[in-house]
Amino acid sequence: MQGNRSRDTRPELALRRALHALGLRYRVCTRPLPNVRRTADVVFPSARVAVEVRGCFWHGCVDHYKQPRTNSGYWANKIQQNLRRDEDLARTLQDAGWALEVVWEHEDATTAAVRVAAIVHERRIAARRVSSTRNQPGKAPRSGTETSANGLHERERPSM
């Protein structure tokens, strides 16, 4: 239980509404990687894009974070821990071939949603390209000359 990671915060809801208005469908507060115990605020599984909405205070926004005057050591330490966790998540996702997009609390939700939509769109196209080269429908039946098993007649292989 983390006091600082409540779900459905106002900036999260604003972003989700804006994404929805752009026609995007997504999952909310789920683990992008089933075997990693971290959730992301908005997840696009097929495009492998995770979005984190970060609060300016809790995530040490360079423009808006102000260290509280009381218990400053405690807070500095707490925010440091959060930043480490943020970096950790980014690295884990990256290693798994995911993209992590960070949306700050101070950002305009619509602008952020348009940015996220562009990333999702781009990655969906890239994913489709990969799968279409993997299995190409409508290709002419294999000619009997393609006997790549013994390394002969490689030139008969259709070009991609």
In whole angstroms, the minimum distance from the beta carbon of 57 to Zn ion comes to 9
Q: How many helices and strands (H and E) does the chain possess?
A: 3, 4
In whole angstroms, the minimum distance from the beta carbon of 105 to Zn ion comes to 6
Question: Quick check: 56 binds Zn ion (CB under 5 A)?
Answer: yes
Q: How many CA atoms lie within 13 A of 139 on its CB side?
A: 12
Contacting Zn ion within 76-135 (CB under 5 A): 106
Judged by CB under 5 A, the number of residues near Zn ion is 5
Question: Quick check: 17 binds Zn ion (CB under 5 A)?
Answer: no
Residue type, 147: T
Q: Are 92 and 33 in contact (CB under 8 A)?
A: yes
CB nearer Zn ion, residue 106 or residue 153: 106
The alpha carbons of the chain give a radius of gyration, in whole angstroms, of: 22
Binding interface with Zn ion (CB under 5 A): 56, 61, 63-64, 106
